[in-house]
Each structure stands twice: as C-alpha cells, then as structure tokens.
Structure 1
Amino acid sequence: MTTIEFASETQRITTRPAVATRVINVLANAYVAWKNRRAFYRLGEMSDAELADIGLTRADLHVAVGVPFGRDPTVKLRAIASERADTIEDLARRVA
C-alpha cells in the first residue's frame, strides 16, 4: 500500500462518523422541534389568565405559530417573553 492509497482510505474512514453524527443530530433536532410544537399547541388551550401567569399573551402564540414547520416555536416564545421582561424591568428602573 502506498502513502497515497492509505491517505485516501483514511479520509473515507474519518468522514463516515462525521456524516452519521450530523444525520443523528438533524433527526434529534427534528424530534425535539416536533415534541415542542405539540406542547406549544397545548398552550393554545390555556385561558388568557393562565397565559399571563407564564408571561405570554394570545398574540404571542399567533406570532410564534408563524415559524416554519421544522423550527421550534417555543424558541420564538422564549425570545418574546424575555424581551417583554427586559422592557418591563427597564421601565421599572426609570420610574424608581
């Protein structure tokens, strides 16, 4: 076996696990997004008072449902809620 043949075989051997890892990561991320989307739809069954208790409004749900299907809508909800909390904290600091 020459050095060139060994180098080409080594490259094939090392790329297979990397490709398999990427495929597994994509499938795992898709599963988590699907699972979170199911939980997200359960939020729609909550009353407005219950949503307010966790820092959300019904309008937030309508905004978050607009994300593409493969994406996780709970990430968008988290961003909306944290932005609102930051805004409220900033307003409270200005008043005090």
Structure 2
Amino acid sequence: MATYDFATETSRITTRPAVATRVANAVANAYRAWKNRRAFYRLGEMSDAEFADIGLTRADLHVANVPFGRDPTVRLRAIATGRADTIEDLARKVA
C-alpha cells in the first residue's frame, strides 16, 4: 500500500462524521430558532414596566421581527446592548 492510497482511504472515512456533524448542527440551530421565536411571541404579553426592566420597549418587538428562518432574539439582544452602551456613554459625559 502506497502512502497515496492510505491518504485516500483516510479522507473517505473522515468525511462522514463531518457531514453528520453539520446536519446535527443545522437541526439544533433550527430547533433553537424555533424555541426563541416562541419566546419572542410571548414577549408581547409583557407590561411596559417589564420591558423597561430588561432594557427594551414595545416598539423593539416590531423592529426585531425578522423572517421566519432567523432568530429574532439575536436582534433584540443587539438592541438592548446598544441602548445600554448609549446610556452608559451619556452617564460618563454627565459625570
């Protein structure tokens, strides 16, 4: 058996787990996005005081409403983080 033959054999063996891993990751990501989308829809039931506690407004739900295959909580996290950073910057300028 030449070195070339061994390298060819090895590459066929290692590609199957990689494909299985990619499929498993895709399924896991789809399930996570589905769960987060359900939680996103339940946010509409919160009061304005509860929104203020987590650093969001009711209008942020409309801004973060993304197409079905994507995760809206990622957009909400970015909005809340950006708002918190802005508030901290303003507080530093006042002090």
TM normalised by structure 1 equals: 0.89
**Structure 1 segment 9-20 matched on structure 2, within 5 A:** 9-20=9-20
| Aligned mates of 2:80, 2:55 — CA distance in 1 | 6
TM-superposed CA distance for 1:48, in Å, is 1.6
In structure 1, list runs of 5 or more residues that go unmatched.
none
SS of 1:92's equivalent?
helix
| Aligned mates of 1:89, 1:7 — CA distance in 2 | 56
Give the aligned length.
95
TM-superposed CA distance for 1:11, in Å, is 1.4
SS of 2:70's equivalent?
coil
TM-superposed CA distance for 1:2, in Å, is 5.4
| Aligned mates of 2:30, 2:60 — CA distance in 1 | 23
| Aligned mates of 2:61, 2:52 — CA distance in 1 | 12
CA deviations on 1:12-35 (whole Å, 9 max, x unpaired) are: 111000010011001101101110
Aligned residue identity for 1:31:
Y
1:36 equivalent to 2:72? Answer no
| Aligned mates of 2:86, 2:22 — CA distance in 1 | 38
Residue equivalent to 1:84 = 83
In structure 2, list runs of 5 or more residues that go unmatched.
none
> Higher mean Cα deviation, 45-54 or 17-26?
45-54
The CA RMSD over aligned residues, in Å, is 1.4
| Aligned mates of 1:77, 1:61 — CA distance in 2 | 8
Name segments (4+ residues, structure 1) moved above 6 Å. Answer: none
What's the % identity of the aligned pairs? 84
Residue equivalent to 1:61 = 61
